[in-house]
Structures are given as C-alpha cells and as structure tokens.
Chain A
Amino acid sequence: MDPQMMVELGALTLVGAAALIAGVAEDLESDVGSQSNPNSQVQLAPQMGYLHRLYNKAISGEPASYPFYAAIGASTALSVLSVTGNSGLIGVFFALVAGAFVTSLIHGVYATTSYMGRLASQSRFGQPIYLDVLRTHTPVLMAHGFVANFSVLLLSWVLIAQHFSPFPFVVLAFIWGIALGGVGSAVGDVHLGTDRYYQDRPYGSGVNAAHSGSVVRKAESGLRNSIDCAWFCSKFGGPLTGLGFGLVVYLHFWKEVVVTSWWSALAGVIIVVIFVIMNTYLERYSRQRYGTYKEEAEE
C-alpha cells in the first residue's frame, strides 16, 4: 500500500467519525425541535383539541435547514481565517469552532421564532406559549446543533485539505449539509414520529387519519416535553442516523480512494446493489416473523 493511500485512508477515518457524530447530534437536535415529518402532527395537535407542551420548530425541513447552518458556519470560518491569517491546524480548528458558534446562535434565534410564530398563529384553539419551554429547549437545540455543525465543517475541511473535492469550502459544506439533513429526516424521523408520538397505538398499525394530531402529551410523570423525545431517540434513532450518515460518507469516499478513476462509479453501483439485496431480505424476514400490518382494534 502506498503512503499516499495510507494518509487518505486515515483522513477518511476522521471524516467517517465526524459524520457519525454529526448524524447522532443532528437527529437528536431535530427530535427536540420536532422538526420535519413529525412536525405536522405537533402542528396539527392544537387544532384537534390536543394542547401540548412540545416544542415546534419548523425551520423548513431538515434538508433545507442543515445546508443553511452549514453555509453560515463555513462563511464565518472563512472570514475568521482571513482575519487571523493563521492557516495552521490550531487556526483552522478555532475558525471552525467560531463558525459553528455563530451558526448555533442564529439557529437558536430561528428556532424561537418558529415556536412563537406557529403557536401565536393558533391562538383560536387556545394553545398557550410557554416561556419555560422556550427557555429550556432552545439551549438544548443550540448545543446539539453546534456539535452537528462543527462535525460537518470539520468533515468538509478535511475533504478540502485532502483534495477530495473540487468545490469551494462553503459549497462543499452546503452539499454535506443537505446530505446530513436528508439522512436525518429519512432515518431519524421514523423513531421520533410514530414510535414516540403514537406510543398508545399498536405497533405497526400506522397512523389512522382519525388520529392525526392525537400525539402523546403525558409523560411517565407529568407532561411530556420535547427533551423527553431526545432522551427516547438517543437510544436507537439517533445512533442509527449517525450510522446511516457515517456509512454514506465513509463508503462514498472509501470507493474513491481504494478503487480509482471511473471504476469507482462501478464500485458505487455494486455497493448500492448489495444494500438493496440486504434490505429486501431484512424486510422479507421481518414480514414473515411479525406478519402483515394489523388493523387497529375498534375502540
């Protein structure tokens, strides 16, 4: 193995690890804010008469909000680098931290506006705005967002430094932001939405249209808040999202490094085919094991 490939594989390991952390933090962040898919249920709840103390954060969907954060973070990092002029390791590190920090502030501001805005627009259903929900949830969102954004910026910077990408830094961070948001929305939302908001329904029954907005509002003790959702999802949904995004990033660049030139495209197709076969077997196995989806029992 030639030394160049050794360095590239080392960089890849770092990139894959950063992607894994980004995925976990991204999913938990969106769970605290009930962003993306499950958001429509939280949004609908007061209209159906189910008032709640859940956080409602719609900064578009995740695939639009994450590139937004990443682009702000990357622009800030570039600006800080141009001011300090220190392109050594420590200079870059602090520039990325500064980028993620500014991003998390803007993220927090946007989150509060969507919580207050949406609930104020539902005043006819009597849904109050709880300032303590705002005060306790927003910092949690910002902290998870910081970790996710720093990881995306780090990942993009390593890719630029190793000449894996022809794009400028901001554009690359933007693209990986879209990918992160997309994976977080596709993988993570499942565990937040049906698993957490509809725990009182039989597993696998799906959500009947009649139960739209009938989210679980009471916790084991007291009222359910959205930080409970992050706790629940940190057991399975979050790590799974991290695994998903880490695999996307790692496998993509692994085939670029190990299988060179145009053959890497063929390798990509083979990887996708392997995943399709695995998923088909997994679904067939679980259908045989658990049977078809059950109709919900009449109440």
Chain B
Amino acid sequence: MAEGERSPRQLLVIGVVGGLVGIYLANYLNSMTNTAWFSFFAALGAVLAVFWGADAVRRVASYGLGTGVPSIGMLSLGAGQVAVLLGLAVAMNLKVHWAAPIIALILAAIIGIVNGVMARRVIKMNIAIMEMSMTEIAMAASLIILGFSTAIAGGFAFDLIMKYVVASGFIIAVFIVGGMAMLHPFNACLGPDERQKRTLNLALSTGFIAMLVAGIAAGAINGIQAAVPTMIIAIFGWIIYYLRFFADTKEDAAAVLSTGLLPKEEEVA
C-alpha cells in the first residue's frame, strides 16, 4: 500500500456504516414526515458503498483480471441483487422490518464467500484475496442496490420495493447503473500506473452519476420531492469529483497536450 492511500479496513467502515446510515435515515425520516424529501440520504449512502466497492474491485482486479473486471462486477451485482430481495422478504416474514438492510448485507456476505470459495478452490483461480474481495464486493453491491432502490421507492419495505422498483422495471436500471459505477473506475484506470486516489475520485464521480439516474427514476415514483434534492446533490457531487479526477489525471499522465504530433523516441524517457 503506497503512502496516502486509504486502507481496505477504513473503506469497509466508510462503505458499511455510510451505506446503512443513509438507507435508515431515508426510510425513517420519510416515514416520520410522511414525505419523500429525504430519499436522497439513501442514494448518498449508496454512493459511499460505490466508493468502497470500487476499491474492492480494484484490489482483486489488480491481480491481472483485465477483461474480467466487468465480469466480476456483474457477478457480484447479481449476488447483491439476490441478497437484497431475499433479505427484504425474510425481514417481512420474520416481522423485523427494521432489520431488512442488515439481513440483506449478511446474506450478501454469505453469497460472496461462497462465490469466492468456488472461484478459488473449485475453478482454481490463484488469487490470494479472492474470498475476502468477493465478499466485500457482494456486500457493497447489496448496499448499492438497496440504497438506490430506497431512494427510488422512498423506503425499504418489501411491498414498496416490489411495487415501485421491481414491477416498474427500475430495478434493472439500478442494477446496471450501480454496477457500472462500481466496476467502471478500475476498468477505466487499468494500467501499471494506476493510483488509488485517482480511481476512487472517479468512483465518487460515477457514483454521483448513478445517483442522478436514481433521482430521475425517483421522479417517476415520488415526483419532485424525491427527484429534485437527489438530482441537485448528484450534479454538484459529480462536478466536484469529476474535476478532482481531471486534476489527478493531469498530475499522473505523462503529458496532457492540447494537440500535437506523436512524441519522438528520444523524447520518451
């Protein structure tokens, strides 16, 4: 780990705590005030989960997965998706509505471990951190999906999510947009000179794009109450982190030229 990097444990705490707090705040503030003004908290929590998940993708994919980066993202998103729907259903049947996000997170961890063990022991992919990474990515994915779904539906009750997110089809947008937000940063910054800070700034920027899409979809369900705050925060967040990514790019790149011919061989050190 290079100097100034965030450690995996630090990111795990940011992702899990941030994700859960955001989802709970959105659900309970919305139901207490009987509005949808607070939906954006859930989306913000999901953005923090993207931040964590992107780093987990980065750690496992830097073992040379190459074209496998999108694949591992999609696999984990599928795990997260199953975990979320199962977790919500289990919470409803056990009548512990408040615990649904935590149950979903635990189920995602279990599915992630199984995926990791299968990949390492059965398929024999020789990646030392496979189990841990798959678990982390699946957990992050479940928080991303639940966070954006809560932002769209206004709460995480099973019937709300089923009616407004699954039946309306927005679930697939949450799946792919959240998944892209998580797997794209490392996929875009792939290379020997990849740097955590740049990749994670990009992760926040793509996370805010996903939040923008969630805001647009929330507009179809809860109108301007849900859509406007979510979209405004998303646009500002995106601008900030895209500019930071651009600044990091200028710092890291061999040269940023407005135009020009190819450098001569002697110019390339």
Contacts and interface: CB of A to CB of B under 8 A. Distances in A.
A170 B263 CA distance: 47
B242 interface: yes
A79 B217 contact: yes
Interface stretch (B32-40, B98-106, B131-139, B246-254): B246-254
A207 B269 CA distance: 29
Interface stretch (A3-11, A68-76, A256-264): A68-76
Contact of A60 (B175, B180, B216): B180
A213 to B, nearest CB: 13
B173 A51 contact: no
Contacts of A172: 169
Contacts of B157: none
Interface residues of B, number: 60
Nearest to A119: B253
Contact of B242 (A61, A74, A109): A109
A128 B259 CA distance: 10
- Among B173, B206, B249, residue most surrounded by chain A Cβ atoms (within 10 Å): B173
Interface in A93-111: 102, 106, 109-110
Contacts of A78: 168, 217, 220
Interface in B213-256: 213, 216-217, 219-220, 227, 242, 245-246, 248-249, 252-256
A132 interface: yes
A83 B184 contact: no
Contact of A170 (B172, B199, B258, B261): B172
A123 interface: yes
- Interface size grouping (class) on chain A: 35 or more
Nearest to B246: A116
Contact of B188 (A83, A117, A223): A117
Given A72-B177, A110-B206, A113-B245, A131 B257 contact: yes
A64 B2 CA distance: 32
Contacts of A119: 253
A87 interface: no
A49 to B, nearest CB: 8
Contacts of B205: 113
A13 interface: no
A131 B257 CA distance: 6
Contacts of A40: 66-67
Nearest to B202: A113
Contacts of A291: none
Given A79-B216, A79-B219, A128-B255, A217 B184 contact: no
Given A75-B173, A79-B219, A174-B176, A126 B263 contact: yes
Contacts of B199: 117
A174 B70 contact: no
B176 A217 contact: no
Nearest to B186: A117
A126 B268 contact: yes
Interface of B: 66-67, 69-70, 74, 167-170, 172-173, 175-177, 180, 183-185, 187-195, 198-199, 202, 205-206, 209, 212-213, 216-217, 219-220, 227, 242, 245-246, 248-249, 252-263, 267-269
8 contacts: A75-B170, A120-B189, A120-B248, A122-B192, A126-B267, A128-B255, A130-B258, A170-B173
Given A72-B177, A125-B254, A174-B176, 9 more contacts: A47-B192, A78-B168, A110-B209, A113-B184, A113-B202, A121-B190, A124-B193, A128-B255, A128-B256
Interface of A: 40, 43, 47, 51-53, 58-61, 64-65, 67-68, 71-72, 74-76, 78-79, 81-83, 102, 106, 109-110, 113-114, 116-132, 167-172, 174, 217, 223
Q: Which 3 A-B pairs have the closest CB atoms?
A: A121-B191, A168-B169, A126-B268
